[in-house]
Structure 1
Amino acid sequence: MHGTSALAADTAHSVTPPDAATIEKQWVAANRAFDGVRQAILAQTGKIAWQGPMQPDWQSLTGYTTPEWYRDAKFGIFIHWGVYSVAAYKGEWYPRHAYERTGEYADYYQHQIKTYGPMPQVGYKDLIPLFKAEHFDPNAWASLFREAGARYVVPVAEHHDGFAMYDSKLSDWTAVKMGPHRDVIGELAKAIRAQGMKLGLSSHRAEHDWFYEYGRTFNSDVNDPRYAALYGPAHPSISVKGEDGQDVDWTFVSDVYLNDWLARSSEIVQDYHPDLMYFDWWVGQPRFRGALAEFAAFYYNQAAARGQGVVLNYKLDDMRPGTGTLSIERGQAADIRAQPWQTETSISPDSWGYAENDTYKTPDEIVQLLADVVSKNGNLLLNIGPKADGTIPEQARQILLAIGQWMHANGEAIYGTRPWTHFGEGPTQVVSGTMQDTKTKPYTAKDFRFTTDNGHLYAIEMAWPASGQVLIHSITPSMKVSSVTQLASGKSVAFRQQADGLHLVLPAQPSGVHVYAYRIDVQKDEAETTKEGSASKS
C-alpha cells in the first residue's frame, strides 16, 4: 500500500496521443506471434459460416429460432470477475477510469496512484499478480447458482480490460498464464454443466479498442509498446454523426482489429461450445456489422452440426430483429414482446464487478423484476461480482439463497411458462428501456403479473395486502374459475367471482420474499383462454 507521497512522485505529464497508424503498428507488432493461429481460426470460421443452414448475411440470419431450453429457463446468473476485482473500487470500469486524471472520474486515478504507485512506473497491469483467486471453487459457485434457481450461467470470458479469463491461444494476457494461473472459464464450464445448467459466455472485447484511451493522453504505461498486447489500440474516442443526428461511428477500428475480434470470439466457441454467447453494445457500430454477421452464421452453423440450440444476445439495434435475442441492459419492456428477450441487471444498483462497500438490491426487488420480465416473454440474467480471492460476497450469497427459496416454492409460475393474453394489471407503471431498472416505483398488492403453462393461469402478486384480501380485475366471470391455490403453501384459496373480477381471501402470509404466486384453474371448456398469448409454446 502506497501513501499519499505517491501523488508527489507522480511524474505524469500530458502528451499528444500517437496517430492511429502508429498505434495500430504497435498493437499489430505486439500480437504478431499469434498471426498463424489467428489465420487458422479465421479460415475455419469462414468455412463454417458458409456451410450450414445460415449464411453471413442478415436476411439469411432471420431464419434463427430461439431454442426451447432458453424460453423455459427464465432465470440465469451473470458473473463479472476479473483483474478489476483486485481494486474493488466502484466496479469493472476501474481500468478505464484509473487513467482519467481530471473530470468526473478523477477519484479513480487518485485511488490508483495512492494505492498502487505512480505512473508510468505502475499501471493496471500491475494488479494482475494480485489477482490470485486463491479461494476460487467453481463447484461451490455452480452449486450456489443452482440452489438460487438459475438454469443457465454466463461468466464473462473477457471484459473491456483485455484480460482473458480463458485459455486463449491468441494472447499471453490470460488467467492461465498470469494471475490465478487457471483456466477459469474451463473450470466453470465443467462445474456449471455438471449441475445441469446451460453455459453462456460473454465477450466485451469489441470495446477494448478504445477502453484505455485516457492513458494515451499522458505519460502512462498504456503508451509503452511492451504492454500494447494488453492495453490494445486505445484509440481516442471520436463522435461522428449521421444525417439523422445519431452516432454512426465512435472510434477508429481497423480491419486487423476486426479480424482479431472475430478470431477471439470464434476461439471461445470452438474451445468451450457455449449454449449462449453475449456481446456488449459496441458490436453494433457500423465497422463491426460484417464481422458480426460472419460470427453469427459461424456460431449457429457449428451448433446446428452438433444438434445444439444456442442463443446470441445483443443490445439495442446491434443486430437485425429476428437474427438473435435482444437483451435490454438494466431495463424492462413495456409490454409483451413477440420474440423472446432478456434483461440483464446486477445484484448491485451501481456496479457489475465487485466493489468494497457496495450496495445491493433486495430479494423482493429482484423477484418482482423477474415476474415482470417473464410475464412479457423475457428472461432475467442477474449479475454478481465475486471478490478477487474467488469468494462471493456474503450479502450477495444470501440474496441468491433467498431467491432460490422463492423459486423452489413458486417456480411453477416461472419456469417453462409463456405470457398470457396480457402481462398484468395494477397501478405501478414500469419505466421501460435501457438503464431504467431502478426507476420503477415500489410495487403494491394491487400489482399482478400473469403467466401460463399447461392450461394453468398463474397470477403473481407483487406485495402482500394488509387486509388479506385481493381483487384481480383481469379474471372475469366468463372464465369460470374452478380452484385457486397459493403455491408457496400449497393451500387452497377461497374465492368468488363478481362482475369486477376475481376476489381472493388469502391464507396466512408465507415467509420469505414478499411476492406471492397463485395457480388459477378454470373449467375445462375455458382452459383454452389460459394458454399462451402472443408468444405460443411450440
Structure 2
Amino acid sequence: MKMKISPKLKFTILFCLSIFTLTVKAKTVTTPKIKPSQEWIDQKFSMFIHFGLYSVYGGVYEGKSVERGYSEQIQSFAGIFSDWYGETANEFNPLKWNPDSVVSLAKQAGMKSIIFTSKHHDGFCMYHSRYTEFNIVDATPYSRDLMKELADACRRGGIGFGVYYSLIDWHYPHAYPISSHNADPLTDEHYEFNMKQIEEIMTNYGDISEIWFDMGSLTPEQSKGLYELVNRLQPDCMISGRLGNDYVDFAVMADNEYPDYKMGIPWQTAASIFNETWGYRSWQVRGDLQEKREEKISSLMKVISRGGNYLLNIGPRGDGSIVEFERDVLLGVGNWISKNSEAIYGSEASPFHTPFEWGDITYNNDKIYAFISKMPANSKIELSGFKGKVKSAELLSTGQPLFFSQKGDKLIINADMGINNRGIDTEAVSEAEFPVIKISFVDGFTINPSIIVNDGKLIPGNSMPVFGHSSLNYYAGYKSLTGYNWAFKTGRKSIIPKLSFTESEVGRSLKLNIDGESQIVTLKPSGEKTITTPKGSVMWGKLYRKPGKGVFGNLEEEGLDFVSVGQLSEDLKTVWKEVIDYKYGEKYQEKISPRQSFILLQEIESDRNQTIAVRLGSGNGAYIILNGRYITAHLSPKRLKYQEEIVLLPLTKGKNQLIVKYYNGYEKKLSYSITPLNEWTIFENNLSSYNLQEKEYHTISLTAEDAESYVSPIRMNNIVIELN
C-alpha cells in the first residue's frame, strides 16, 4: 500500500495494516485535530522532573542514608511522621531554581516537552492549589507558584508543558493511609478532591501537552470521570494509561521498561538516570559519565525504533539546582541527537518484522535509518526483507558516503575504514557515538511480510500479531494482544472466508479487513463440528508451581523454548515445586493477597503435531504461554471473580510446556482450574464471497469490534480463517 497514513489512521486499531507492506514516499498531514496530535507523536524525547518536598531530604533522614525505596517516597520508607514531614516545608526555599535555565537544558538535550510533578504521593503541591495549604506558595518561604513559572518558561522557550499527578495522597485526611504498594483505592472524598485539583491544573496553567497520572487503584467510574474531565477542559491533552481501567490516550510501560516488541498504539517509557530513584539522592553513586550517556542513548534508540516516546527524568536538589552529573548526561545525549536528529524527530518505528543484531531502525519518507549499537565482527551491516532500489548509504552525522552492494532484497554496507576509505570508524561505537546510517531509495521501498501463508488457513500461530499495553493500575499492566495480521498468496480471483471458533468466541463482534476493505462480523454459528483428540496421543505430565513476582505482565518464562524446572529463577530465590494430587476439572480456591500471583507449569507430551483444547478457569487475570510463546493475557476492568475459557493449544511433537500466571487483583481469594478436553465443538461462519485484485500477496487483519478499549486484549486466540 502507498505510504500515505494520516495521524488518525496511525494509531487507531487498524494501525496494524501498515506492518504488512510499506511503499514509502512522503507523509501527508490531515487537517482535523485529533488525539494523538502529530506533534505529540513526533516529539520522541521529553524531560521528566521529580521535584518536591522530598528533594530537601536528598535521600537522608536523621543523618542516615535511606537505602530502601525511591527517594521521592522517603516519607514512607523512612517512616517519617506526617507532622514532622510537613514541617519540612519551612525549610523548602529553592532559590537556585531557574525555570528558563531548565527549559534551556531540555532544549539542548533535544527534548521537546517537560513533564513536571505537580503533586507526588506525599500530597505536597508544587503549584498554588486552593484546596490545600500544603503547597509551595502557602507553606514555604519560597511563596511562589513554581509550576506556573515553569509553564510560562516552557511557552517562552517553545516547548510543551505537561504535568505529573499522583492519584494517591498521603497528606489528604480522607485518603487511605500510607501503604507498602501505592495501589490503594480512592475514597469518595479523595476522588472528589482529585477532581477539583485536576480542574484547577487544567484551567490555570495554559495548554497542557499531557497529564501523567500515577498509582492508586481506581474504579472504572473514577477513571472515566477524570478522563472525561481532562478531555472537556483540555481536548488536546494526552492522558497516560496509568489512570487505569484502560482509559488511555498513550500507554506507559513499567518504570525503566524497554519492550522488545512493537506496539500499534501511542506509548511512552519513563526512565530515571538511575533505576534506584527518581527524586534527588545526595549519596547516589553516579559512576562513569560516558557509560551513563551510552546507556541513555541506547535506551532512546530502543524506544523510538519501536514507535514510543522516551521520557527521561532529572531530580533537582532541594535548593532547586540541577545535579551536574545529570545535566552532563543530558548534554551528552543532546550532542548525539543534534548530529542525528533527522533519524529521530518525526520518524516512524521500524517497519521490519524481525530485529537486527547490529542495532535498531527508524524510517522517514523514502529513507531508512540504521542505528548501529553493536558492530558486527566483519564490519558489515546487512539489511534484508525489503524491495526497492538503494540510491545511497551515508553516515548521517557527517554525510560521508559508504560503500554498499545490493542483490535483490539484501543490502550489505561496508563499515570497515580499511576498504576504499569509505566506511564507519568502528571505534566510534565504543565511544558512545552510535553511528547512524542513512539509506536512501530511488523510488521508495516496500517491506516484505515476515510470514506469507500459502495453504489458505490463517491461525494465530502464522499471524503477525499486534500488541498494546493494557493497564488497570500500575501493578496490573501487561502486554495485550490487540489484533492479528496475515499475508497470504492464492491463485483464486475470489475467496469465501470461513471463520472457525469455539464457544468462548460465540457472540463476539470483530472487524475483518481484507486488502484494505473492512466489514463487521458477529460470530453466530451457522455450522458446527466436534473435534476429538486421538486416543493415547497426548499425555498430561507433571504440574509445577512457583510464586509470581512483580507486576502482572512480568513473566520471565516468556520467550524461552524450554524451562528447566530444576533451575532457580533469576533472583535465585524462587524455584518450581511439583504439585501433588492435583485434580483436573476441579475448581480450586485459595486465599491470596491482592496484587499477588502464582505460576503453574504443566508438562504435556504429544506423539504428533496437533491442536488440543483445555478449559482454563481464572480469577481476575491470567497470562498464558505455550512453549515460551504468547497465547493470550487478560485482566478485565470488570473485575470478574472467576471466568472460564477454552484455549486451543498447538502442540509440537514431543514435550510441551503450558505456563499460566494467575493473578489476584482485588479479591480475598483466587479461583482457578485446569480441565483437559478430549473433545470440543468448533463453530463456523461462512462469509460472503470477496473478489481479489491481482497482487503478489494479499492481507487480512482482525481486531475486536467489541473491545472495551483500543488497548484491551482481543481474546480471540482460537479463531481460524479458511480461504475457500
Normalising by the smaller structure, the TM-score range is 0.5 to 0.7
Q: Which position in structure 2 is the counterpart of 1:394?
A: 324
Amino acid in the other structure paired with 2:107: R
Of 125, 128, 131 in structure 2, the residue corresponding to residue 164 of structure 1 is 125
**Rounded Cα–Cα distance in structure 1 between residues aligned with 2:445 and 2:407:** 19
Q: Deviations over 1:297-322 (max 9, x none)?
A: 22223334xxxx3211123x81426x
**Rounded Cα–Cα distance in structure 2 between residues aligned with 1:386 and 1:268:** 22
Q: Is this contact kept in 1: 2:315–2:322, CA < 8 A?
A: yes
Query: 1:310/1:423 Cα in 2 relative to 1: closer, same or farther (>3 Å)?
Result: farther
Q: Is this contact kept in 1: 2:94–2:318, CA < 8 A?
A: yes
Q: Compare the two structures and name the one with the higher helix fraction.
A: 1
Q: Which position in structure 2 is the counterpart of 1:37?
A: none
Q: Deviations over 1:496-533 (max 9, x none)?
A: 22576423232335596332211101221x43559xx9
Matches within 5 A, 1:107-506: 123-179=84-140, 180-204=142-166, 206-208=167-169, 211=170, 229=172, 233-235=175-177, 237=179, 251=184, 253-272=186-205, 273-282=207-216, 285-287=217-219, 289-304=220-235, 309-315=236-242, 318-320=244-246, 323-328=248-253, 329-360=255-286, 362-422=292-352, 425-426=355-356, 446-464=357-375, 469-474=379-384, 478-498=387-407, 501-505=411-415, 506=423
SS of the residue aligned with 1:93?
helix
Structure 2 length-normalised TM: 0.51
Q: Which position in structure 1 is the counterpart of 2:72?
A: 92
Q: Is this contact kept in 2: 1:423–1:450, CA < 8 A?
A: no
**Rounded Cα–Cα distance in structure 2 between residues aligned with 1:353 and 1:198:** 22
Aligned length: 392
Q: Is this contact kept in 1: 2:223–2:244, CA < 8 A?
A: no
- 1:78 deviates by 0.3
Q: Which has the larger radius of gyration?
A: 2
Q: Compare the two structures and name the one with the higher strand fraction.
A: 2
RMSD between superposed Cα atoms in Å? 2.8
Query: 1:149/1:250 Cα in 2 relative to 1: closer, same or farther (>3 Å)?
Result: closer
Structure 1 length-normalised TM: 0.68
Q: Is this contact kept in 2: 1:336–1:422, CA < 8 A?
A: no
Q: Deviations over 1:463-499 (max 9, x none)?
A: 45576x22223365x4321101111222111112257
Q: Is this contact kept in 1: 2:397–2:436, CA < 8 A?
A: yes
Q: Is this contact kept in 1: 2:174–2:189, CA < 8 A?
A: no
Amino acid in the other structure paired with 2:45: F
- 1:233 deviates by 3.7
Amino acid in the other structure paired with 2:439: I
Which structure exhibits the higher relative contact order, with contacts defined as CA atoms closer than 8 Å and separated by 6 or more residues?
1
Query: 1:234/1:291 Cα in 2 relative to 1: closer, same or farther (>3 Å)?
Result: closer
**Rounded Cα–Cα distance in structure 2 between residues aligned with 1:181 and 1:448:** 49
> Mind listing any 5+ residue stretches in structure 1 that lack a counterpart?
1-62, 100-108, 110-118, 212-227, 240-248, 427-445
**Rounded Cα–Cα distance in structure 2 between residues aligned with 1:396 and 1:250:** 30
Q: Deviations over 1:14-60 (max 9, x none)?
A: xxxxxxxxxxxxxxxxxxxxxxxxxxxxxxxxxxxxxxxxxxxxxxx
Q: Is this contact kept in 1: 2:305–2:361, CA < 8 A?
A: yes
Q: Which position in structure 2 is the counterpart of 1:527?
A: 445
Q: Deviations over 1:206-228 (max 9, x none)?
A: 221xx4xxxxxxxxxxxxxxxx6
Q: Deviations over 1:117-136 (max 9, x none)?
A: xx79x721122122210211
Range moving further from structure 2, 135-144 or 174-183: 174-183
Query: 1:201/1:421 Cα in 2 relative to 1: closer, same or farther (>3 Å)?
Result: same
Q: Is this contact kept in 1: 2:352–2:447, CA < 8 A?
A: no
Matches within 5 A, 1:60-75: 65-75=35-45
